[in-house]
Amino acid sequence: MVDLGGILDILQIFRPGEKLLLDFYDYPDEVRRLSWEIHHLWHRYYLEIHEILQKASMGYSDWSGIYSEKPFYTLQCDISYMISTDMFKEFVLAELQASVNRLDRSVYHLDGTGALKHLDSVLEIRFLSLLLW
Triad 111, 131, 116: Cα angle to 5°: 45
For the chain, helix (H) and strand (E) counts, in that order, are 6, 3
| Tens digits of residue pLDDT in 100-130 | 999 988 889 888 888 899 999 998 888 887 6
Q: What's the predicted TM-score (pTM) here?
A: 0.89
Sign of the CA dihedral running 106, 76, 12, 115:
positive
Comparing CA positions, the residue from 54, 55, 52, 72 lying closest to residue 64 is: 72
Per-residue pLDDT of the chain (133 residues; tens, 9 = 90+): 888 999 999 999 999 889 999 999 999 999 999 999 999 999 999 999 888 888 877 788 888 888 888 888 999 999 999 999 999 999 999 999 999 999 988 889 888 888 899 999 998 888 887 665 5
